[in-house]
Amino acid sequence: SRSYTITLLPGDGIGPEVISVAKSVLSLAASLEQISLQFDEHPVGGAAIDLTGAPLPAETLAAAKRSDAVLLGAIGGYKWDTNEKHLKPETGLLQLRSGLGVFANLRPAVVLPQLVDSSTLKREVAEGVDIMVVRELTGGIYFGSPRGFRKDDKGEDFGFNTEVYSGSEIDRIARIAFEVARKRRGKLCSVDKANVLESSMLWRKRVFAIAAEFPDVELSHMYVDNAAMQLIRDPKQFDTIVTNNIFGDILSDEASMLTGSIGMLPSASVGESGPGLFEPIHGSAPDIAGQDKANPLATVLSAAMLLRYALGEEEAARRIEDAVVATLDMGFRTGDIFSAGTTFVGCKRMGEEVLKSV
Amino acid sequence: SRSYTITLLPGDGIGPEVISVAKSVLSLAASLEQISLQFDEHPVGGAAIDLTGAPLPAETLAAAKRSDAVLLGAIGGYKWDTNEKHLKPETGLLQLRSGLGVFANLRPAVVLPQLVDSSTLKREVAEGVDIMVVRELTGGIYFGSPRGFRKDDKGEDFGFNTEVYSGSEIDRIARIAFEVARKRRGKLCSVDKANVLESSMLWRKRVFAIAAEFPDVELSHMYVDNAAMQLIRDPKQFDTIVTNNIFGDILSDEASMLTGSIGMLPSASVGESGPGLFEPIHGSAPDIAGQDKANPLATVLSAAMLLRYALGEEEAARRIEDAVVATLDMGFRTGDIFSAGTTFVGCKRMGEEVLKSV
Ligand SMILES: CC(C)[C@H](C(=O)O)[C@@H](O)C(=O)O
Ligand SMILES: CC(C)[C@H](C(=O)O)[C@@H](O)C(=O)O
């Protein structure tokens, strides 16, 4: 029988609750498919700072690296917000992404028919939206140097960062995006600010060049400000979007909110080789942490992505996704997606209901 | 009688059409208030490239500087899209903003009751939205150096830009934003990415410090990815937003699209002294240029902002704004805001109708 090791990183806030549900669902789906899973749990983010003094302990990264895939809950919280940079939970997450080399972040924004009314968009605009944002995750202004603070001779303070991309960094994320688009509806929109930024001019040039390898995919280019508008004006014009780290951060969150149910949205981060990182799109929601209010489905669906993309276990992935749809069809809803006529449940209970359908 | 010189910069695409309408409206409103206006028209953007070889001819900048205020149409078009940077229309606009020192860009996003159905947001979400985005306009990654392209010793290409802010650049835009918020509903939300970027950490620290001068304004901070979501989830939570150049570019366009009528939205850019720059939020729309299809109202309303903020001519500004509302109330609509039961008009005719109500 197939056997894999999964690193679980619950993290902060609602992280532990949603990971606990996802772990049960993952275990059941795996055992029903004769897959044996080993779980290895480690601290990251604020929890790791409190426990070890570092947001990504060496042991956590080492464990993640030798496992087959990593499932993360969420990181961050008010408690650590004013920490210095090397003691911020976010820094641990960035170190993890970089340490695993997962440069391609896949963020689907899908409006489920059952949840179309959760969107603040008019029904006819939201219905059928199905966008995949491919975000570059280990480069750009998040990691560029020089960065930091300096004073000039007049005593004036400066804070600065460097947005930088190499041609090969762009090529590899572009290839992944073209491949994703090819398996979807064959349309790729590359988003940049090439009318102002040199980093974007190189981006546009290299993406354009890579397009020659994918004659079956239709490529377009859009400025980031226009993309922010078009996502609201007519989100259905988009199939796959590829963009840099910071624009991807902004646009993927914008796209996810179009669905009105970010508590439902998973993500996958993958590299050239080595374990992938799977996490819900939502944050650690410290305001509802520990209250059994969180929606665990984004993490459950991230576990399904893990089975499919990291382990190649399509049947087990399908089991989970079908179970989520069945649970929604039966009317179970956490607070974030609740509407009149549905059954209000907490995080744990939602997990139990999903388990029944796996 | 009061007398002023206005620099008109029609620019590219629909720019000349909308400036021509705005000029008539401005002239009439001024003469009815015993104001004498001198107009001085100059090329900028693609038009200036074609005419003089530079996107901002020295003569255009000089004329703008010695005038009392500048009214710009729009710049850019497919024709110049592949030009090198120093020959891009956008470069002319950036040189103009920088040359005039207009570091504060005020971009209102208001859902007019007459146009609430143009929004793709549900009526109850869109109704009453009234946001002012204060965007830093002459700093950050748009202007930071070093910037450009380089090759490393392995022949790998890099494109790079620098996001940089000085403390005093942040202080001055923060003060303007607090003052704007004070005159509105007293709430200011500062948007940054201080969990990742040093430039944003300095931003947050300085905005926080300036808040002490404005105890009557309620300050909050939000990460840019969350802001991109919250604008869609619940736009009415925002009053005034202050943010850097690139985040402001993205978020102000996103906010403007919430209204569903970016053909209606003006903007004002001002500095410490010297003439301000007034322009519609929308672009040059090359696909409809010269076809009498453009909505001139954003430029007409920019002219009203010019009268109010640059010339202190409140009555004349009011005349124009009231005329626009009256024209909408009479049911006249250009294509972008047309809906069943209203009267479809072109750019010129819309101008004529506004003139009747000035
Ligand atoms: C927490 C933060 C560092 C992170 C990011 O900016 O990448 C988050 O916003 C995300 O999108 O996963
Ligand atoms: C045309 C472009 C350079 C400009 C900008 O990015 O500032 C435009 O998008 C705007 O927002 O006025």
> CB-hemisphere CA count at 13 Å for B128?
6
Average pLDDT over residues A235-257: 98
- The CB density around residue B148, as the number of other CB atoms within 10 Å, is 13
| Closest alpha carbon within chain B to A150 | B166
- B356 noted as active-site residue: no
When pLDDT is averaged across residues A317-324 and rounded to a whole number, the result is: 98
* Beta-carbon separation of B167 and A160 below 8 A: no
* All residues at 6 or more sequence positions from B141 whose CB lies less than 8 Å from its CB, including other chains: A163, A197, B161, B162, B163, B164, B244, B245, B246
d(CA A9, CA B337): 49
- B280 contacts: CB under 8 Å, gap ≥ 6: B18, B73, B74, B263, B265, B266, B267, B298, B299, B301, B302
User: A93 CB less than 6 Å from ligand 1?
Assistant: yes
**Predicted local distance difference test score (pLDDT) of residue B48:** 98
DSSP string of A186-210?
SEEEEEE-TTT-HHHHHHHHHHHHH
Q: How high is the pLDDT of residue A261?
A: 87
Q: Is the CB of A133 under 6 A from ligand 1?
A: no
Of B156, B224, B246, the CB nearest to A167: B156
Does ligand 2 have an atom closer than 6 angstroms to the CB of B352? no
Minimal-distance CA residue of chain A relative to B78: A195
CA B253 to ligand 2 center in whole angstroms: 10
Structure tokens at A134: 């491919």
Same fold, A1-106+262-358 and A130-258: yes
Mutational pocket test of ligand 2: of B90, B96, B135, B265, the residue with most ligand atoms within 8 Å of the beta carbon: B90
pLDDT tens column, A29-83: 999 999 999 999 999 999 999 999 999 999 999 999 999 999 999 999 999 988 9
- Tell me which residue of B11, B92, B28, B2 sits closest to B304, measured CA to CA: B28
Which ligand sits closest to the CA of B265?
2
Q: Judging by DSSP bridges, how do beta strands B130-136 and B104-110 pair with one another?
A: antiparallel
**Nearest atom, ligand 1, residue A245 CA:** 7
Given a cut of 80, whether residue A221 has pLDDT beyond it is yes
Q: Comparing C-alpha atoms, which of B141, B231, B119, B318 is closest to residue A140?
A: B141
Ligand 1: residue whose CA is nearest its atom 3: A90
Atom 5 of ligand 2, residue of closest alpha carbon? B249
Record: fold of B137-245: Rossmann fold (3.40.50)
A55 conformational bin, left if phi > 0, alpha if psi -120 to 50, beta if neither: alpha
Task: Please say whether the beta carbons of A242 and A207 come within 8 A.
Answer: yes
Determine the pLDDT at residue B1: 76
Q: How many angstroms separate the CA atoms of B157 and A205, rounded?
A: 11
Give the Cα separation of A147 and B246 in Å (integer): 17
Nearest to B299 by CA among B13, B16, B5: B16
Question: Which residue do the tokens 């074609």 mark?
Answer: B50
- Phi, psi dihedrals of residue A310, rounded to the nearest 5°: -90, -35
Q: What percent of chain A has pLDDT over 70?
A: 100
Instruction: Decide whether any atom of ligand 2 lies within 6 Å of the B279 Cβ.
Output: no
CB of A90 closer than 6 angstroms to any ligand 1 atom? yes
Please indicate whether, in this complex, the C-beta atoms of A198 and B167 are within 8 angstroms of each other. Answer: no
Strand partners, A151: A157
Residue B225 a catalytic site member: yes
**Rounded CA separation A25/A30 (Å):** 8
Atom 10 of ligand 1: nearest residue by CA position: A249
Annotated active-site residue B253? The verdict is yes
The yes-or-no answer on residue A253 being catalytic is yes
Which bound ligand lies closest to the C-alpha atom of A138? Answer: 1
Q: Where are the domains of chain A?
A: 1-106+262-358, 130-258
Whether A336 lines ligand 1, by a CB cut-off of 6 Å, is no
Among A111, A117, A121, A161, most B C-beta atoms within 10 A, so best to mutate, is A161
Beta bridge partners of B184: none
CA–CA separation, B125 vs B112, rounded Å? 13
* Crossing angle for the helix pair A245-258 and A224-233, to the nearest 10 degrees: 10
Which tokens in the block code for residue B288? 């409809």
Q: Residue A192's pLDDT band (boundaries 50, 70, 90)?
A: very high
Q: How far is the CA of A149 from the centre of ligand 1 (A)?
A: 22
Whether the pLDDT of residue A144 is over 80: the answer is: yes
Residue of A nearest to B225 (CA): A250
Helix (H) or strand (E) holding A169: helix A167-183
Residue type, A354: V
Atom of ligand 1 nearest to the CA of A97: 7
pLDDT digits (tens, 9 = 90+) for B49-93: 999 999 999 999 999 999 999 999 999 999 998 899 999 999 999
Question: In this complex, do B262 and A165 lie within 8 Å of one another by their Cβ atoms?
Answer: no
A224, B250 Cβ separation under 8 angstroms: yes
Ligand 1 atom closest to Cα of A75?
1
- The per-type count for chain A, helices as H runs and strands as E runs, is 12, 14
Residue B261, pLDDT score: 86
Helix (H, G, I), strand (E, B) or coil at A90: helix
CB A157 within 8 A of CB A193: no
Q: Are the Cβ atoms of A163 and B158 closer than 8 angstroms?
A: no
Q: pTM of whole model > 0.85?
A: yes
CA distances from A226 to A32, A70, B95 (A): 47, 35, 21
Q: Please tell me which residue in B12, B23, B142, B165 is annotated as part of the active site.
A: B142
CA distance B179 to chain A (A): 24
A240-243 and A218-223 as β-strands: parallel, antiparallel, unpaired? unpaired
Chain A residue at shortest CA distance from B166: A158
What is the best residue among A78, A83, A88, A90 to mutate for testing ligand 1's pocket, by most ligand atoms within 8 Å of CB?
A90
Q: Which residues of chain B have pLDDT under 70?
A: none
B1-106+262-358 CATH choice from 3.40.220.10, 1.20.120.1770, 2.160.10.10, 3.40.718.10: 3.40.718.10
Shortest-distance Cα residue to atom 11 of ligand 1: A249
pLDDT of residue A247: 98
Across the interface, whether the CB atoms of A158 and B165 are under 8 A apart is answered yes
B255 lines ligand 2 (CB under 6 A): no
CATH number, domain A130-258:
3.40.718.10
Q: Is the pLDDT of residue A349 over 90?
A: yes
How confident is residue A1, by pLDDT bands cut at 50, 70 and 90? confident
Nearest to A165 among B159, B226, B249 (CB): B159
